[in-house]
Chains A and B, each alone.
Chain A
């Protein structure tokens, strides 16, 4: 799912410095599941900001509201009164939500309280690891179900490189990150598909990825 982390408190304080009435707007979907921007996190941040701005001698009125999903107009409508009442909105949604609220209520500025940073898997409680780069051309069938675009630091298609040592990728200083090509090799071996390792993969078509520009999916069968 989409995961994000709250920005440092100092950065958020700087963003709201000139506003008097601030709304912290949470989202009940992805950022709730990764404990970054749900109702509880909204309450905690609001409380911190009340205390911090009071200590700074620049006290603000901080209000709270959480919608089901901030990327859809219908849900954001429920927060309309709170939004219109505020000078500034701090959204605790992912980047999509922040932009949707700005678009829906353009008379107010909505700033991001989070840094959206990946399409990740919760590998254990409290840990999210990036798994997908949304490259638009999924090759997982060729690599035993492990993605080299997202999980190889160099996005190699014909890995591993010479820096793969005992199954660990040399790029990360703490030497704990597995080399995904080592993992792919062993998975393909288990599946009896090692011949795939010998196939020369041609250069990737990056056009369906961000490189080709902003992507748009249109499903005529679903349009009204």
Chain B
């Protein structure tokens, strides 16, 4: 990773290679065919992060496809990270989509297995899973570095060249195997990694210790997944209903206590409408401020963990929070003091 040559030359790759503590963002496409919502959210992220993930039918709910949204982002001057899952497309469709994605200007690609369709709004559909995330990574790397399709046939002409990413969940089981699985993904071709949301820093630190022992952090850039908690309800939901997520009880306590002194929901119910609206607004402000504060603290702790090259900020449906987060944490192209002269176009 010390040579000057870039694999692909995307902004993300360049920033990581330059050694900045990088921040990436995320955007969820709409469940309709309207581009205006995307444009609104994209503008909230522009200039704040290196590049923006666009999810691919997240939780198996039908949304505008990742690649098409990426094209809209490119038009707005924002670098997209497209996502490709194995749930909906076989190897033929995937390679076909990737040829097009490259031709349309996409350069960063996350290779994921995908949430099972029973989670989504079309549980009766046929699932594909022709490949899994690891064989997908290998296929994409071979298209780029060996210029061959999955069947072994040579690609005549321009090959699709992507800076390859993968996901890692430090909190899934078997815990002892997770660092090895990450190593496997890197061996299969991952250039960068984004982890699942972290709300348990000690466990993540332990995971990173093992990852560093394996030397994986020198072969791929690891970005810690972070995000602001919007409310106490959101915190509880993540702690209890989302498999693979661990939330330190301390954060739940803080989200509970941050509205102390303010009228409770029961009291608000008894208030006249104008007062009630104001009280609700105060509660929301207090929760959101605390949620962002916790996120910034986690980011700052991740900065100190060896092997962490940056963060991936997930503020789905609350993209407005990203500006505050990167400002307080002093990261990203706009607020990182180490990047006085932005060398990259944003």
A positions within 8 Å CB-CB of B: 153-167, 170-171, 179, 182, 185-186, 197-198, 200-204, 206
Contacts and interface: CB of A to CB of B under 8 A. Distances in A.
Nearest to B245: A165
A202 B196 CA distance: 25
A90 to B, nearest CB: 26
Most buried by A among B138, B172, B180: B172
A185 B175 CA distance: 11
B243 A158 contact: no
B153 interface: no
B127 A203 contact: no
A156 B119 CA distance: 18
A163 B243 contact: yes
B243 A202 contact: no
A165 to B, nearest CB: 5
B168 interface: yes
Contacts of B188: 200
Q: Which 4 A-B pairs have the closest CB atoms?
A: A162-B169, A170-B243, A158-B134, A171-B116
Interface of B: 86-87, 91, 113-116, 118-119, 127, 129-135, 138-139, 150, 167-169, 172-174, 177, 180-181, 183-184, 187-188, 196, 243-244
5 contacts: A154-B114, A157-B134, A162-B167, A185-B174, A200-B184
B178 to A, nearest CB: 9
Nearest to B177: A185
Contacts of B169: 162-163
Given A154-B113, A186-B174, A200 B244 contact: no
Interface SS of chain A = loop
Contacts of A197: 177, 180
Contact of B113 (A161, A198, A201): A161
A154 B130 contact: no
B244 A156 contact: no
A198 B180 contact: yes
A157 B187 contact: no
A171 B118 contact: yes
Contacts of A201: 134-135
Given A185-B174, A202-B138, 14 more contacts: A154-B132, A157-B132, A158-B134, A158-B135, A158-B184, A161-B132, A162-B169, A164-B172, A165-B172, A165-B243, A200-B135, A201-B135, A202-B135, A203-B131
Contacts of B132: 154, 156-159, 161
Given A162-B196, A165-B243, A200-B138, A155 B129 contact: yes
A159 B184 CA distance: 11
Contact of B172 (A163, A171, A186): A163
Contact of A167 (B91, B173, B243): B173
B116 A165 contact: no
Contacts of B172: 160-165
Contact of A182 (B113, B127, B174): B174
Given A165-B244, A202-B135, A203-B139, A156 B91 contact: no
B96 to A, nearest CB: 16
A154 B131 CA distance: 9
Contacts of A185: 174, 177
B129 A154 contact: yes
Contacts of A155: 129
A155 B118 CA distance: 15
B170 to A, nearest CB: 9
A206 B150 CA distance: 14
Contact of A158 (B133, B168, B173): B133
Nearest to B91: A203
A165 B246 CA distance: 11
A199 B172 CA distance: 20
Contacts of A186: 174
